[in-house]
């Protein structure tokens, strides 16, 4: 640990890290790295929790949440956005080209179209088929299974020592229409403080929002905890607030200003992808329960 540049992302997002690494290894900026990185799963129809190919809400619509933060502490976010393949790039435009932090739904779509993004159908045949099968029982409960996610939260530390982060998702499968999770909410799904470090979350967003999870992890690092310990303490907090703690998953990843990194989850099965000068790998995170 302790080297830069590096990129870390939730789950087995090795390919996303590759794209981020190609920016970082050429002395690129952390913000460009995380945007390039998370665009990979956004465009990948095989990734069923992000962007194109993501599982729809219970009405059969793919609705996307994303946010981004730069080393200056600026942030941009889109929530409940439909028909745009790269919500992270729209979030970046919200940050850079508007006086606002967050745009929602129709307004976010209007802004995206005005900014030159194209309207596209994001519901793939595979996701539509699964949704139709789900409709037969239609249990109206956001489904977050414990071991099979790929929502991406990504943090990068560039050669200059600056931190940025991005988070993007299609959210909980078969959620209520209009539901927004933690992923696009600054402090919940993502937080970066260039003086301390950054954190990102995945899992059942409602639980992450309730403890302002990523902000909590960053503040725990500010108090002197290592990234792994900060993630563990935030997971302990979630456990202590939720009697149903065995029924859902939450995982955090974090990196500090020195290039130390880590992750931790509530249930087993979580891990993160890491790329630094030593190469790339998938790391199984420790969990509170095994």
Task: Give whichever of 12 and 115 is closer to ligand SD4, judged by the CB atom.
Answer: 12
Which of 37, 171, 227, 262 touches ligand SD4 (CB under 6 A)?
171
In the range 182-201, which residues lie near ligand SD4 by CB under 6 A?
Answer: 182-183
Task: Give whichever of 22 and 245 is closer to ligand SD4, judged by the CB atom.
Answer: 245
Q: How far apart are CA 252 and CA 90, in angstroms?
A: 24
Which of 13, 83, 124, 169 touches ligand SD4 (CB under 6 A)?
169
Q: How far apart are CA 231 and CA 16, in angstroms?
A: 22
In the range 104-123, which residues lie near ligand SD4 by CB under 6 A?
Answer: none
β-pairing, 75-81 vs 102-104, is parallel
- Is 56 a binding residue for ligand SD4 by CB under 6 A? The answer is no
β-pairing, 261-265 vs 286-287, is parallel
Ramachandran category for residue 172: left, alpha or beta (phi over 0 → left; psi -120 to 50 → alpha) = beta
Which of 149, 155, 214, 270 touches ligand SD4 (CB under 6 A)?
149
Task: Give whichever of 49 and 89 is closer to ligand SD4, judged by the CB atom.
Answer: 49
Q: How far apart are CA 253 and CA 35, in angstroms?
A: 17
Which of 90, 172, 211, 238 touches ligand SD4 (CB under 6 A)?
172
Q: How far apart are CA 186 and CA 213, in angstroms?
A: 10
Task: Give whichever of 70 and 249 is closer to ligand SD4, judged by the CB atom.
Answer: 249
- Is 202 a binding residue for ligand SD4 by CB under 6 A? The answer is yes
Please choose, out of 39-47, 76-84, 167-175, 265-273, the segment that lies near ligand SD4 by the rule CB under 6 A. 167-175
Task: Give whichever of 202 and 225 is closer to ligand SD4, judged by the CB atom.
Answer: 202
* Residue 80, C-beta contacts closer than 8 angstroms, at least 6 positions apart: 63, 64, 65, 104, 105, 108, 178, 180
Q: CA 188 from chain center: how many Å?
A: 10
Is-cis flag, bond preceding 220, omega within 30?
A: no
Q: Among 5, 10, 7, 4, which residue's Cα sits nearest to residue 167?
A: 10
Determine the size of the site formed for ligand SD4 (CB under 6 A): 13
Q: Among 191, 208, 202, which residue's Cα sits nearest to residue 169?
A: 202
Q: Is 151 a catalytic residue?
A: yes
Write down the catalytic residue from 10, 63, 151, 228. 151
- Is 47 a binding residue for ligand SD4 by CB under 6 A? The answer is no
Catalytic residue positions? Answer: 151
Binding site for ligand SD4 (CB under 6 A): 49, 149, 151, 169, 171-172, 181-183, 202-205
């Amino acid at each position: 640990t302790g080297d830069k540049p590096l990129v870390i992302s939730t789950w087995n997002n090795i390919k996303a890290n590759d794209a981020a690494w190609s920016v970082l290894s050429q002395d690129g900026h952390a913000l460009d790295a995380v945007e390039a990185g998370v665009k990979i799963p956004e465009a990948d129809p095989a990734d069923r929790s992000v962007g194109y190919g993501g599982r729809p809400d219970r009405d059969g619509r793919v609705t996307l949440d994303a946010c981004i933060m730069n080393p200056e502490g600026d942030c941009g976010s889109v929530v409940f956005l439909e028909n745009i393949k790269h919500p992270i790039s729209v979030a970046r435009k919200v940050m850079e080209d508007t006086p606002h932090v967050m745009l929602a739904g129709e307004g976010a779509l209007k802004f995206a179209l005005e900014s030159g993004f194209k309207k596209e159908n994001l519901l793939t045949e595979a996701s539509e088929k699964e949704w139709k099968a789900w409709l037969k029982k239609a249990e109206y409960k956001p489904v977050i299974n414990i071991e099979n996610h790929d929502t991406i939260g990504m943090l990068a530390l560039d050669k200059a020592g600056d931190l940025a982060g991005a988070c993007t998702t299609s959210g909980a499968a078969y959620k209520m229409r209009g539901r927004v999770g933690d992923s696009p909410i600054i402090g919940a799904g993502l937080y970066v403080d260039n003086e301390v470090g950054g954190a990102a979350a995945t899992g059942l967003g409602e639980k992450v929002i309730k403890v302002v999870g990523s902000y909590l992890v960053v503040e725990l690092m500010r108090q002197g905890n290592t990234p792994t310990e900060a993630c563990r303490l935030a997971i302990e907090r979630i456990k202590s607030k939720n009697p149903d703690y065995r029924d859902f998953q939450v995982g955090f990843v974090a990196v500090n200003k020195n290039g130390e990194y880590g992750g931790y989850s509530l249930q087993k099965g979580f891990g993160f992808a890491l790329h630094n000068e030593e190469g790339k790998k998938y790391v199984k995170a420790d969990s509170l329960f095994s």
